[in-house]
Structure 1
Amino acid sequence: MSDRTPIFDDVVAAIGLDWAELQGGEEAQAAEVVSTAEEALS
């Protein structure tokens, strides 16, 4: 995912995931978590 945002990196860090280790379904799940977080913060 080349269009990562700072909030995305913050959330990934907050949930203890290393972006470099995310693959496939995990990546999609992380993106969903971030989308939810962004909605909650907006």
Structure 2
Amino acid sequence: MVPERVSLITIGAWDLPMLRSYYKRLGWSETDWSSDHYAFFER
């Protein structure tokens, strides 16, 4: 049996710059896939 895991979570946000800052402070790395309208992070 393969253990369950989460590989992608989608979160809507009104203030994308604030959300980017929040995840960067958590130590997450933003990927090259991000744009002005959305952000992808790796942990």
Which structure has greater helix proportion? 1
Range of TM-score over shorter length: 0.3 to 0.5
Which structure has greater strand proportion? 2
TM-score (norm 1): 0.34
Q: Which has the larger radius of gyration?
A: 2
By relative contact order (CA 8 Å, sep 6+), the higher-ranking structure is 1
